[in-house]
Amino acid sequence: MRITGLGHAGMFIETTGGNVLCDPWVKPAFFGSWFPFPDNRGLDWERFGREADFLYVSHRHRDHFDPWLLETYVRKDIEVLLPDYPTDDLEQDLRKLGYHNITYTQAGEVIERGPLKIMVTPLRAPSDGPIGDSSLSLDDGTASILNQNDSHPLDLEALLSFGKPDAYFTQFSGAIWWPMVYDLPLEAKQNFAHLKREAQHKRAMFYIDKVDAPHVFPMAGPPMFLRDDVFDSNGLGRGESVGIFTDQVEFIARMKQEVPKYDGHVFIPGTVVTIVDGEVGVEQTFYAQDEIDRMFADKWGYLEEQRASRQQEIRDEEASRAAVLEPAVMLEKLKEWWEPLLRRARIMRNGVGGPVRYTIGELDMVVDFPKAKLREYAGEECSFWFRIPADLVSTNIADGEIDWSNSIFLSMQFQTARIGKFNEFIYTFMKCLSRDRIEYTENWYAEQSDQTEDAQIGDWVVQRRCPHLRADLTKTGKIDEDGVLTCSLHDWKWDLNTGKCITSFGHPIRASRPGDDLTLAATAPADLSEA
């Protein structure tokens, strides 16, 4: 087996049963904010498109799904390995591009193409990517690999039933807008950014330990931010900006300290990994080693060169945006679109529990979640507030973009503030701007309120399934001496003495000590079990 890095999460996998093209991405994403790091434009994309037998797009995020690249280089009769997602958004995206030779994979199902065995493992929770993320397992008789990319599987036993991989490719520097866009003092931002990086690191190390592959290839990040307004959020940030983006070399250095039994390898555009009967070779074929050393040792210098040379791409993206709508027109269009969805989103409305303010250019509006209404801001107190450029919103309205969390918000071209804790329901609603997504997510939340099985962890008896994403807490949960439970998958925390979630509104947990007469359960501002 031979795996060529294409940048970010992209890879071209040559096997004895055919070649698999995974998540190829070149064009700037998320309103021109994200670029692949390092630059991958010079790869032989014609060859990869021409020689691929299978196309695997893990999910709809535009740093994994690049319509321009697919249209330009990948033939339309290729066999598409489609993850089993609850809504058909990704399928419809691919069909619009002309791809109709689609294989509908099923969770846990092994597909055979000659000597090649394929398994796609989907995740379907509302917070998994754009409602759906997935991993790819391959075995062609000469080697076995796991391409986990951005996904955070909960059922590792099912995933690893495919077999222990010789090489493991996984995200290590996840992308989010927290805390960069928040209205916070610099010192607080720096502290929160450090905590976020550490949480990401712990999650990556958790999976490395569980997968137990001898060779680890950190990938699927970090991106480059080349717009002037977000440039200083690269890496760990600089000046008055902060960043949460550990790079490959930094992560591998920590791996060597913490888990020296695993070999970590730099996986960038042109990295070629050859695996034969358990023997793994790694060669850099696109960048010379001195270039690689320089781009990591003098990362800001490399980023400055990229910024200077790629401004035309940013200007082209800005020129492609829709004309800005007048405030009254924008409000009316959003009312027509969102209010019917809000009326169906009872659990999410209750989970938000109050008005949220959106300042969009000259439009100052409130989404009154309890009443399922949009209206002009009337001076009332709001615990959550967003300031978003009007051209981004106008473009999403023109495009009918159903996922603003993973378009506008990932662009980091907005500002936000809040009073109190993070509220998952606001961001979930912002990625569910279609009837199919609303109905799926509402049903998903309703099902999560049924947490009937308990398990003992240390001195506590707690519900076995995490209230956030139903991870098995006997495997992912740790309790400190103060009775604070941490789920290692996403670093969410609960105070077991009260049952309250420390990380977010809602999501209470049932917990007690053996011998206690009372089982503790926090009552959230909006109790999902009664929604």
Q: What is the pLDDT of residues 152-163, one digit of tens each?
A: 988 888 899 999
Q: Residue 471: left if φ>0, alpha if ψ -120 to 50, beta else—which one?
A: beta
Asked if residue 162 lies in contact with residue 173, where contact means CB atoms within 8 angstroms, the answer is: no
Write out the CATH class of domain 2-314: alpha beta
What pTM was computed for the model?
A: 0.86
Where exactly are the structural domains of the chain? 2-314, 327-444, 449-530
pLDDT at residue 517 above 90? no
How many residues are recorded in the chain? 531
Query: Can you tell me the distance from the alpha carbon of 212 to that of 530, in angstroms, rounded to the nearest whole number?
Result: 42
DSSP 232: G
Per CATH, the number for 327-444 is 3.30.1050
Percent of the chain topping pLDDT 70: 96
CB 283 within 8 A of CB 270: no
Distance CA 112, CA 19 (A): 13
The pair of three-digit structure tokens given for residue 149, joined into one six-digit string: 């990319």
CB 14 within 8 A of CB 115: no
**Separation between Cα atoms, residue 121 and residue 486, nearest integer Å:** 25
Whether the per-residue pLDDT at 514 is higher than 80: the answer is no
pLDDT at 521 over 70: no
Can you name the residues that pair with 472 across neighbouring β-strands?
Answer: 465
- How far apart are the C-alpha atoms of 229 and 392, rounded to whole Å? 15
83 burial via Cβ count (<10 Å: 0-12, 13-18, 19+): buried
Instruction: For 21-37, write each residue's pLDDT tens digit.
Output: 999 999 999 999 999 99
| Mean pLDDT along residues 267-283 | 96
118-151 per-position pLDDT tens digit: 999 999 888 888 889 999 999 999 999 999 999 9
Q: What is the mean pLDDT of the chain?
A: 92
Q: Which two tokens stand for residue 526?
A: 């909006």
Which architecture, in CATH terms, is 449-530?
Answer: 3-layer Sandwich (2.102)
- Please enumerate, as own/partner, the contacts of 286-291 that have beta carbons within 8 Å and a separation of 24 or more: 286/42, 286/43, 287/38
Q: How far is CA 410 from the centre of its chain?
A: 10
- 52: pLDDT strictly greater than 60: yes
Assess contact for 507 and 518: CB atoms under 8 A: no
How much is the pLDDT for 519? 45
